[in-house]
Amino acid sequence: MKNLSRLFSASPALRWLVLLLTGIVLASNYYFYDAFSTLKELLKLEFGFSNTDYGLFVSFYSVPNTFLLMAVLGGIILDKLGIRLTGFMFTFFMAFGAVLTAYAATDYYRSGGIGFGLMQSFLPAYSPELKMMLLGRLFYGLGAETSIVVVSKILVKWFKGKNLGLAFGLKVGFARLGTFLALRMSPRLAEGGEQLSLAIWVAAVFVCIGLLVFMVYMLMDLAKERNENIEAEQRVRPENAFKWTDVSYILRNPAYLYIALLCVTFYSAVFPFLAFAPDFLSNRYGLSDIQSGDLVSFLPLATAFFTPFFGFLIDRHGKSVFAMGIGSLLLTAIHLAFAFTYIPPMIPIIVLGIVFSLVPAALWPSMVKLVPEKSIGTAYGLTYSIQNLGLWAFPILAGILLDKNNPGNPEVLDYTQVMLMFSALGFAGLLFTLLLYRTDRKNGMGVNRPFNRAED
């Protein structure tokens, strides 16, 4: 075991294997999250979902992280219990929720299987399928956000001072590859509704594979710590113990607050848009589910390649705040173009892919400059919980706007008001970026400076 431990800590290439394993976990997470965006119309036809029902389903992912503050508590648990135990626990919740969601779409459940009678006994305005899917989405969201926090802390642990910006960029790239696969595969697996349950089960199985992969990482992490005694030393040192005052310290930092608020506005203008984008393109341009899914898939594909590149540049040249500002400005323009023009959709989709690369590559590593390493999990958890407030609210608002502005469920839906809502979020993000720039210059926090880089 000692020889194995030395091997696991001696090779610099091991960091990249860690990145690959955590990348698979992330890809499975994002595959499941985005697998339903190309299935919206099929869910309406098969289960009788309204636009508001679909928005509720998308938003339910964020309920535990918004109202129960589970991403915050998960970050605190991470800082107290460590990566392995926390990661396994929340990745298991993620897999359990995914399986429960897939179960709700099976013929067995729908013909009166376990739990159907219970779900039928309350809130009759909502179908038993929707209620069981909401429960699954709840457990999935409970685990998914904290698992992302865990991955972020893993990268800080293995890459701090060693291409951290590039590592975060590659992390985002893996996540976007999961989205790309979901947009491509889900409508094809569903076969126009004939195999809808199969498409959902494939997504759930992918999440279960992510759980198994994380268990492999746990063995690697244990070997590293047995050789270096990193976490054991940190736990016995009082200055590294978590304190509730750490949360207060983080929230009193104005630069952190502006980044967190930018995170809300930016991701609320992107992820909910992605959840509705295939349906938007189908209604706006007359595309089929497969055509619209393929078109939207260019967004995460572009992101998978551009994010590591931007992370590499930010590692060496800095300008993180500038990157966030440019991204927010472009995001506003893209949604305005979708609202008022019939510009060929490939153009704004590709530009949105670049924006979706630029802002995360700058935003997430910047947190490391604002909080001590012992509080990284808490800081990321707080950010994800604040972010989830938007991910909960805006899919529901999008569904309500669609139903309100399209009475009688017409054959072609008008998405203008929804696109205006997303553009307003992009503009708010630009304002928060300007405030961050002013604060950074005034207090010299170094958010805009390059990251220190150690040689491999």
Tens digit of each residue's pLDDT (9 = 90 or more) over 156-173: 888 876 777 778 778 878
Of the candidates 141, 75, 436, 398, the one whose C-alpha atom is nearest the C-alpha of residue 262 is: 436
Q: Which residue has the tokens 């800081």?
A: 379
pLDDT at 95: 96
CA geometry: angle 269, 270, 272, nearest 5 deg: 80
Q: 10-62 pLDDT, tens per residue?
A: 467 788 899 999 999 999 999 999 999 889 888 888 888 888 999 999 999 98
Give the model's confidence band at 442: pLDDT under 50 very low, under 70 low, under 90 confident, else very high. confident
The 10 Å Cβ neighbour count of residue 341 is: 9
Q: What is the mean pLDDT of the chain?
A: 85
* Three-state SS letters, 330-364: HHHHHHHHHHHCCCCCHHHHHHHHHHHHHHHHHHH
- Secondary structure element (H or E) that encloses residue 63, with its range: helix 63-66
Residue 232 has pLDDT above 50, yes or no: no
Quickly state the pLDDT bin for 228 (edges 50, 70, 90). low
Ranked by mean pLDDT, the top range of 67-71, 223-227, 289-293, 425-429 is: 425-429
Show me where the domains of the chain are located: 15-222+243-443
**Amino acid, res. 260:** A
Cβ atoms < 10 Å from Cβ of 180: 23
d(CA 442, CA 123): 54
Residues 370 and 324: beta-carbon distance below 8 Å: no
Q: Which CATH superfamily is domain 15-222+243-443 in?
A: MFS general substrate transporter like domains (1.20.1250.20)
What's the CA gap between 140 and 303, in Å, rounded?
A: 24
Quick one: tokens of 411?
């054959």
Mean pLDDT for 349-363 is 88
**C-beta atoms surrounding 428 within 10 Å:** 19
Q: Which residue has the tokens 């289960």?
A: 47
Q: Is 426 exposed, middle or buried (0-12, 13-18, 19+ CB in 10 A)?
A: buried
* pLDDT for residue 236 is more than 50: no
